[in-house]
Amino acid sequence: MPDHAEEIMQGFGQKYFEDGIAVGEARGKARALVRLLERRIGAVAEPLRARIFAADQASIETWFERAIEATEFESIFDRN
């Protein structure tokens, strides 16, 4: 019985570990997007910054691709 409980706890720990990795990756991508936007377009207002940091990885990646050649925020975010 203790082996089974240990197995469950390890599975739980693995899930939290993977979730933590995913959150860290999303934050890193969000930081990179904000940095790219600031370099290409200008200061990122707090509401937009909050939207970026609350987004899922797929949205952040889509926005990043758009931001590579964008000249204004609207062309990046209004299509999503």
Task: Read off the pTM.
Answer: 0.76
How confident is the model over 62-76, as pLDDT tens digits?
A: 999 999 999 999 999
DSSP assignment of 26-75, as one string?
HHHHHHHHHHHHHHHT-PPPHHHHHHHHHS-HHHHHHHHHHHTT-SSTHH
The ranges assigned to domains in the chain are: 11-77
Task: Give tens-digit pLDDT for 15-46.
Answer: 777 777 778 899 999 999 999 999 999 999 99
